Chain A
Amino acid sequence: MQRSHLWSLIIVIVVAVLALAIALPIQHPAWFNNIAFWQPTEFRDLELKQGLDLQGGLQVLLEADSAALALQSSSERDPLEAAKVIVENRVNGLGVSEPLVQRQGDNRIIVELPGIDDPDQAVATLKGTGLLEFVEMGQQFVPAGTLIETDFGASPTASAGITGTQGLLNPATGQPFRTIMTGADLRSASVGFDQLTSAPLIIFELSDTGRTIFRDYTSQHLGEVVAIAMDKVVLSAPTIQAVIDGSGEITGQFTLDEANSLAVQMQYGALPVALNVIDTRSVGATLGADSVEKSITAGVIGVLVVLLFMIVYYRVPGVLADVALILFVLINIAIFKLLPVTLTLPGIAGFLLATGTAVDANVLIFERMKEEVRAGKPLRSAVDAGFNRAWTSIFDSNLSTLITAAILIYFGSAFGASSVRGFAITLAIGVLVSMFTAVFATRVLMRLVYQRRNADESALAKPTLLGV
Chain B
Amino acid sequence: MYNLVQHRKKYYILSVILLTVSVLLMAYSMVTVGTPFRLSIDYTGGVYWEFMLGQEAQPGQVRDIFVASGLGDTAVTTIGDEGNRLQARLKEVSPEVKAEIEDELGAQFGGIETLQYRNVGPSVGGEVTRSALIAVLFASAAIVAWIVFAFRNVPHPLRYGVSAIVAMVHDVVIAAGFAALMGILVGYEVDALFLTALLTVLGFSVQDTIVVFDRIRENSRRHMGEDFDTIANRSLLETMGRSLTTQLNAFFIMVAILLFGGDTIKPFIAVLLVGMISGTYSSIFNATPLLVTWEHWSNKRAREQAKMAAAA
Contact = CB atoms under 8 A, between A and B. Distances in A.
Interface string A121-155: 00110000000000000000000000000000000
Contacts of A295: 257, 261-262
A367 interface: yes
B141 to A, nearest CB: 10
Given A279-B120, A353-B253, A298 B211 contact: no
Given A301-B260, A404-B202, A286 B115 contact: yes
Interface of B is mostly: helix
B139 to A, nearest CB: 5
A290 B211 CA distance: 39
Contacts of A416: 42, 120, 124-125, 127-128, 192
Interface string B164-202: 000000000000000000000000000111011001101
A53 B135 CA distance: 24
A367 B241 contact: yes
Nearest to B85: A287
A251 interface: no
B115 to A, nearest CB: 4
A293 B207 CA distance: 32
A63 B192 CA distance: 21
Interface stretch (B14-22, B63-71, B263-271): B263-271
Contacts of A389: 218
Contacts of A399: 146
Contacts of B199: 404, 407-408
Interface string A206-243: 00000000000000000000000000000000000000
A170 B27 CA distance: 71
Among B50, B241, B265, find the residue whose CB has the most chain A CB atoms closer than 10 A.
B265
A298 B192 contact: no
Nearest to B208: A397
B210 interface: yes
Interface in B114-163: 114-121, 123-125, 127-128, 130-132, 134-135, 138-139, 142-143, 146, 150
Interface string A375-404: 000000000000001001100111111011
B115 A283 contact: yes
A261 interface: no
Contacts of B269: 349
Among B114, B211, B249, B256, find the residue whose CB has the most chain A CB atoms closer than 10 A.
B249
Interface in A343-395: 345-346, 348-349, 352-353, 355-357, 359-360, 363-364, 367, 370-371, 389, 392-393
Interface of A is mostly: helix
B88 interface: no
Interface stretch (A36-44, A71-79, A302-310, A329-337): A302-310
A27 interface: no
Contacts of B50: 287
Contacts of A415: 124, 127-128
A185 to B, nearest CB: 32
Contacts of B260: 294, 297-298, 301
A371 B240 CA distance: 12
Contact of B124 (A61, A357, A427): A61
A414 B131 contact: yes
A7 interface: no
Given A407-B138, A415-B127, A423-B193, A299 B42 contact: no
Interface in B245-281: 245-246, 248-257, 259-265, 268-269, 272
Interface in B78-119: 95, 98-99, 113-119
B119 to A, nearest CB: 4
A10 to B, nearest CB: 30
A405 interface: yes
Size class of B's contact patch?
35 or more
B54 interface: no
A284 B138 contact: no
B53 to A, nearest CB: 13
Contacts of A119: 114, 117
Interface residues of A, number: 75
Interface string A269-298: 000000001111111101100110011011
Contact of A279 (B113, B124, B191, B250): B124
B143 A349 contact: no
A120 B95 contact: yes
Contacts of A367: 238-239, 241-242, 245
A85 to B, nearest CB: 24
Given A349-B269, A396-B150, A53 B119 contact: no
Given A53-B264, A345-B262, A405 B253 contact: no
Among A280, A415, A417, find the residue whose CB has the most chain B CB atoms closer than 10 A.
A417
Contacts of A371: 238
Contacts of A427: 200
A410 interface: yes
B119 A356 contact: no
Given A305-B256, A417-B128, A396 B121 contact: no
Top 8 A-B pairs, shortest CB-CB distance: A302-B256, A404-B203, A278-B121, A411-B135, A356-B253, A298-B261, A397-B207, A291-B262
30 contacts: A63-B123, A123-B95, A277-B121, A278-B121, A278-B124, A279-B118, A279-B124, A281-B117, A297-B260, A298-B256, A298-B259, A303-B253, A306-B253, A309-B252, A349-B261, A349-B265, A356-B251, A393-B211, A396-B150, A396-B210, A396-B211, A400-B210, A403-B143, A403-B203, A404-B143, A410-B135, A411-B131, A414-B128, A416-B124, A419-B191
Given A61-B124, A367-B242, 4 more contacts: A297-B261, A302-B256, A313-B245, A353-B200
